[in-house]
Amino acid sequence: MATFVLVHGAWHGGWCWRRVVERLERAGHRAHAVTLTGVGERAHLLSPAITLETHVEDVAAVIEAEELTDVVLAVHSYAGMIGTAIADRMGPRLRHLVFVDAVVPRPGESWSSTHARATREARRAGAQASADYSLAVPDPNNYGLAGADYAWVRRRLTPHPGHTYDATLDFDPERVAAVPRTFVNCTQPALPTIDAIRPRMADPNFWNGAWRGGGGAKVVELRTGHDPMVSLPQELADVLLACA
């Protein structure tokens, strides 16, 4: 039996993993879908005080409270920042780190670092204009969703804590790279804010060469949009099971 910890990206909640959790549990495994502070069913806690560190602590607390070891940690989109931090601080507790169409930062970068200037300026301006310094909900059409999937995601997305956007993360790439890693590249349609990350996965010099070293890294392509846990749950579950 394997243990999975699943962490959603911005604006989402643990709810988005429902279809994947069902499949992992049917296969006889344990799956914990974390909801980060301020979003999903924890949206009532939204506050300008929430930072990237708050969300790192959310995930670390689940691993500690549930006394989890040998964890397959899957992190989606923005949560690539969180997964990197967890691997840096709690690497021996992880079996595999899966970046699901996620941010894979360099040391000292923020979630915003690889975004186009217009995107950064628009999100910062929107946060400043909000009552609680939050990032407004995007249209799930950006994730290639349609029909019932689109409607389900659209009505459940919630504003995201804005002070996570420019928060930088310092970490040791070699320590993170000691954990085996998989990047799930979602290509149809490819989300523009992840475009800057994709070339890094093929760059032998990324993390000064550490990305290709340590526990090993691979890339898996899914021909779907940015929310594969919604649009291709069986295929994503199969990727996670292969990492276990």
Residues known to be catalytic:
77
Give phi and psi for 135, each to the nearest 5: -95, 125
Contact 85, 169 (CB under 8 A): yes
- The encoded tokens of residue 120 equal 């950064």
Of 216, 229, 143, the closest CA to residue 184 belongs to 229
Residue 91's H or E segment, with its range, is none
Contact indicator for 182, 219 with CB cutoff of 8 Å: yes
Q: Structure tokens of 83?
A: 């997964």
Tokens of 161: 């804590």
Amino acid at 222: L
CA distance 112 to 243: 28
Residue 109 token pair: 């970068």
* Alpha-carbon separation of residue 135 from 164, 211, 230 (angstroms): 10, 31, 22
- Beta-carbon count within 10 A of 12 CB: 26
**How many C-beta neighbours within 10 Å does residue 43 have?**
16
